[in-house]
Amino acid sequence: MTTPNKSYGRKTLHPTIKPRSLMDEQPNLTGVWQARIITLFPETFPNVLGASLTGKALQTGKWQLHTHDLRDYGKGKHRNVDDTPAGGGAGMVLRADVINAALLDTQSNAHGNWPILYMSPRGQRFDQKMAHDLSRCNGVTILCGRFEGVDERVLEHWNIKEVSLGDFVLTGGEIAAQAVVDASVRLLPDVLGNSESIIEESHSNGLLEHPQYTKPSIWEGREIPSILLSGNHGEIAIWRQKMSKLITKERRPDLWKIRNTKSTRTDN
């Protein structure tokens, strides 16, 4: 007896304004978290998302990745996707009508709680809480910007949330989008395989992670802290919590301040 493929019985079809020949060949799987990426460089995906645990989870159908080539929605003979900024200035701006056509197509596959993000240096700072929120959605559509940005009107029309990795500028949104997807996918059920890894890692409780050690017990004259070899799990937990607080206070005083503020409010 032949064992059915893991995707058996979960395929769904959706209408689309984009020719079928331009769609990626992977069928949609119902009930599976999806990332849909609008980009001028679809060949840059999955990249690192196809490696390690996220890649294994992608292969086994625990999440899906679909790329949408923005050039396919371009205008005219040369498939133009951008034009000069209104009011003058350097660079080019991605056109609202082009982005809108791409979104009409991608969102025809969306269902339930499915936010649209635009990777932008002026957006809200991406953090672990946002990753948790995205992992609880049905999927996410991410628009990767290029040039001088995107026509503001399409961002307003689709109520797109702008998201930033930090106070720096990249040449495009693809690297940032991969970081967002990776941080979200690893929080999906059964992707990591060890729920304790998520609980103990950095930012899970507002603190940075404690130091980690493994064999050999002595390396270059440096020993593993004896408490970790004691077998006293209660004392080990106390030590790890203490070290997490110390490292957070020294390296990320901003996080330490936020944590203390929340603690004070709780006490009151």
Please check whether residues 62 and 143 belong to one and the same domain.
Answer: yes
Total domains in the chain come to: 2
What pairing do the DSSP bridges indicate for beta strands 222-223 and 218-219? antiparallel
**Residue 146 pLDDT greater than 70, yes or no:** yes
**CATH code, domain with 230:** 1.10.1270.20
The model's pLDDT over 220-262, given as tens digits with 9 standing for 90+, comes to 999 999 999 999 999 999 999 999 999 999 999 999 999 888 7
Contact (CB, 8 A) for 99 and 150: yes
Does residue 145 carry a pLDDT above 60? yes
Q: Same structural domain for residues 149 and 93?
A: yes
Query: What is the predicted pLDDT for the residue at 25?
Result: 52
Among candidate residues 185, 220, 244, the one where a domain is terminated: 185
- Single residue among 134, 155, 185 that ends a domain in this structure: 185
The chain-wide mean pLDDT, for the chain, equals: 88
Q: Report the alpha-carbon distance of residue 50 to residue 204 in Å, rounded.
A: 25
Q: pLDDT (tens digit, 9 = 90+) per residue, 51-81?
A: 999 999 999 999 999 999 999 999 999 999 9
Percent of the chain clearing pLDDT 90 (strictly above): 78
Q: Which domain holds residue 169?
A: 32-185
Residue 214 in 3-state DSSP? Answer: coil
Residues 84 and 90: their CA atoms lie apart, in Å, by: 8
Residue 13 within any structural domain of the chain: no
User: Is the pLDDT assigned to residue 37 strictly greater than 90?
Assistant: yes
Q: Which of 185, 220, 254 is the last residue of a domain?
A: 185
**Is residue 6 in a domain?**
no
